[in-house]
Amino acid sequence: MSGVIKTLPIEITVNGRRRTLEVAVHHTLLDVLREDLELTGTKECCLVGECGACTVMVDGRIVDSCLMLAVEADGAEILTVEGLARDGHLNPLQQAFLDKGAVQCGFCTPGQLMAAQALLVENPHPNVAEVQEGLAGNLCRCGCYYQIFEAVLSVAEAGSR
């Protein structure tokens, strides 16, 4: 690095709001969400795409935001944990995580929620094995995996009624 940081303009829609930004070309989407947009709900942990704490949705698909350069997200629609609740009401997944005890320290929770949200968009009625597989990239060291499965399945079931 030479001291002069190259930047490029991008335009992204984050949680429904259009943002025009000048971002450093080497900054990840995670950097830009957390630093430039102060959306710190998305968490930083391993930075190698293994822990899932930084999971967001980009154009409806699940992405480890630590592995995507912000410039690659130009023009994309991004959903972060802050965008799940509507009008001050938790969305069904968030409520289910609370009700089923799928949250302990909470640090992995935003990533778990986003991965679960993406899973349900793709497969509204997953079985346990599919939930397990869908969340395999999201580590929870507190170990409330079973409660997370239960939360996701309860939302899927409610959706089918």
Partner 1 sequence: MSASSIGSSPNRVGGIGRVSGLQEYVADVRLAGVLEAKLVTLDCARAKIISIDTSEAEQVPGVRLVMTAADLPQPMPRFGPQLEDRPVIAVDETKYHGEPVAIVAADTKDAAEEGARLVHVEYEELPAVFTLAAALDPDAPLVQDPSLRPKDPLASTNVLREHHVDWGDIEAAHADVVVENTYSFPIVTHFAIEPHAFIAAPDDNGIAVWSSIQHPYWLQRILAKLLDLPLSKVRVLAPDPGGAFGGKQHAKYEPLVAFAAIRAGRPVRLVLSLEQTFQAVRRAATEIRVRTGFTIDGKLAFQDIKADYLIGAYCDIADRVVGKGSYPGAGPYNVPAVRIFARSILSHTTPSTAFRGFGNPQVNWAVESNIDEGARVLGIDRLEIRLRNLARKGDPFIPFDTPADGDWEQTLRRAAEMIEWGKPLAPGHGRGIALGIKSGPTTGLSYSTVRLLADGSVAIYAGTSDMGQGARTIFAQIAAEELGAPLDAIRVVMGDTAIVPYDQQTSASRSTVLMGNSVLKACSSIQAQIRTMAARLHGIDESAITVERGVVRLPGRELRLMEVLKPGLGKLGGELIGNGETRKDGDADHPLGGAAAFFELNCTAVEAEVDEGTGDISIVRHVTVSDVGTAINRLQVQMQDEGAAIMGLGHTLMEHFIYDETGRIRNLGAIDYRIPTTMDLPLEMRSETIENADGPGPYGAKGMSEGALLCVAAATAAAVREATGVAIRDLPLTPERVWRALRERGGRANAGTNDDGES
- E-strand spans in the chain? 7-14, 17-24, 55-58, 61-64, 77-79
Q: Does 80 bind partner 1 (CB under 8 A)?
A: yes
Q: From the list 68, 78, 81, 118, which residue makes contact with partner 1 (rule: CB under 8 A)?
A: 81
Does 14 contact partner 1 by CB under 8 A?
Answer: no
109 is an interface residue for partner 1 by CB under 8 A: yes
CA distances 27 to 18, 70, 73, 88, 103, Å, are 19, 6, 11, 31, 30
Q: 126 to 155, contacts with partner 1 by CB under 8 A?
A: 131-133, 135-149
Cα distance between residue 103 and residue 21, in whole Å:
33
* Dihedral over Cα of 48, 155, 100, 94: its sign: positive
Q: Using the rule CB under 8 A, is 55 a contact of partner 1?
A: no
Q: Is 42 among the residues that bind partner 1 (CB under 8 A)?
A: yes
Residues that bind partner 1 (CB under 8 A): 1, 3, 5, 24, 35, 38-48, 50-51, 53, 80-82, 84-85, 90, 94-95, 97-99, 101, 103-110, 113, 131-133, 135-149
